[in-house]
Structure 1
Amino acid sequence: MLVLLLMGLAAGYVVFNAFGVSQVDQLEQQARRLQVIVDMASDYAVLNQRELGLRFEEKDNSYFFVYLDEDDKWQRVEDELYQAQTLPEPFTFTLNLDDLPWEEEEQLFDRELFDENLSVSEDAVEIGNEEDKPIPPPQVLIMSSGEITPFQLIFNYEPGFGDDDPAYFVLSNQDMPPLALEGPLEQPE
């Protein structure tokens, strides 16, 4: 009897630990990870006198770090610490710059596909490998002076079904690190 009781307690302990992490805790871990890495990237930019950037891809919930090379072109940072990260399901994020949502269609660097005569302009036509295409500019700049472009990133957990309540974490910056993390919040700000 005692052996069965001990085996039952051990099995219960294993099951509890394996499934004991809540979605809100996992979302907070993702937000804290980015908070720490951006702060470290700011230190790296100052120490190495290099302009860095952070590029967010909302369509696939991923982000990656880039640097400005000698030819003034953005290149991905190859360091393992700054590798591209994708938020696991069911988490998403929303990026706000200067209290305005980032609009992919209204970028500063967009080129017109059509010229004044509504014929296809050859200026924006790029032929070559997918890998050779230039990386789009980052939405968040990390300057060699340590300054970071003001931004607000809202990490979202909005369960489609079940008993879980939605949760949000807000990672924000106002010019200089460290970044501030608020949450869990019941609704985004």
Structure 2
Amino acid sequence: MHKSKGFTLLELLLVIVVIGYLVTMVRLPSLAPDPFELTEKQAARMTHLVNLASEYAVLNNMQLGLAVTEDRFAFLVFDGEAWQPFQEPPFDIKPLDEYVRLELILDGLSWQEDNLLSAVEFIDEERLEQLQELDPEEQKLAIPQIFILSSGEISPFDITVEFDDGFANPVSFLIRGEFTAPVRMYDPLQQLALDN
């Protein structure tokens, strides 16, 4: 009887184990997105949306607002009586990418302060009382901290968009609104120039 030539099952398994071991030794490029690019993309998206909302408010004679929490932001529209979520794309709420956080600065005043809210004619005391029933994060998304008016005016603000996963060095971009559109985005190097 003639014996056929070929590999035995044991030889094939040995080759597969060796190949598997070599593959684990080789470092493949990370499939995770680059923190700088991810943060820049998120900051650019938010900057463009605020500028688009300003144009929309002027063209449609509407009063819009922007509410910001640490992990999301929402556009609101004033319907003549109260602020409502603005559900029209692209202004509907979208979650931020993982590890991206927002920090809102309003001329040193936090949004909850009575003197800031009572100065705005679009927010009444009855609405503020209704909001007390919501949890703090939902309260922040129910009333705008930044006003985008039909006159083209925007409340002055700074929003820091930061990526921090606890491993890489944190990356932050700054979005700054100075009373009128367009709002501008600054990368980390441009922020150093702003501080000087």
Fold conserved between structures, TM > 0.5: yes
Tell me which stretches of 4 or more aligned residues in structure 1 moved more than 2 Å: 18-21, 101-104, 106-110, 123-126, 184-189
Structure 1 contact 27–91 (Cα < 8 Å) conserved:
yes
Distance in 2 between residues matched to 1:25 and 1:157, nearest whole Å: 10
Larger Rg: 2
| 1:54 matches 2:66 | yes
Which stretches in structure 1 are left out of the alignment for 5+ residues? 1-14, 111-122
Taking only the aligned residue pairs, the percentage that are identical comes to: 30
Distance in 2 between residues matched to 1:67 and 1:33, nearest whole Å: 20
Summarize the alignment of residues 65-76 of structure 1 with structure 2, pairs less than 5 Å apart: 65-71=75-81, 73-76=82-85
Structure 1 contact 91–156 (Cα < 8 Å) conserved:
yes
Question: What secondary structure sits across from 1:81 in the alignment?
Answer: coil
**Which residue does 2:19 correspond to in 1?**
none
**Which residue does 2:145 correspond to in 1?**
139
**Which residue does 1:102 correspond to in 2?**
110
Letter in 1 for 2:77: Y
**Which residue does 2:50 correspond to in 1?**
38
* Deviation (angstroms), 1:136: 3.1
Greater share of residues in strand? 1
Greater share of residues in helix? 2
| 1:170 matches 2:180 | no
Distance in 2 between residues matched to 1:31 and 1:24, nearest whole Å: 11
Aligned length: 152
Output the TM-score relative to the length of structure 1.
0.69
Name the CA shift for 1:19/1:129 in 2 (closer, same or farther; >3 Å): closer
| 1:157 matches 2:167 | no
Which stretches in structure 2 are left out of the alignment for 5+ residues? 1-27, 119-127
Name the CA shift for 1:181/1:82 in 2 (closer, same or farther; >3 Å): same
Output the TM-score relative to the length of structure 2.
0.66
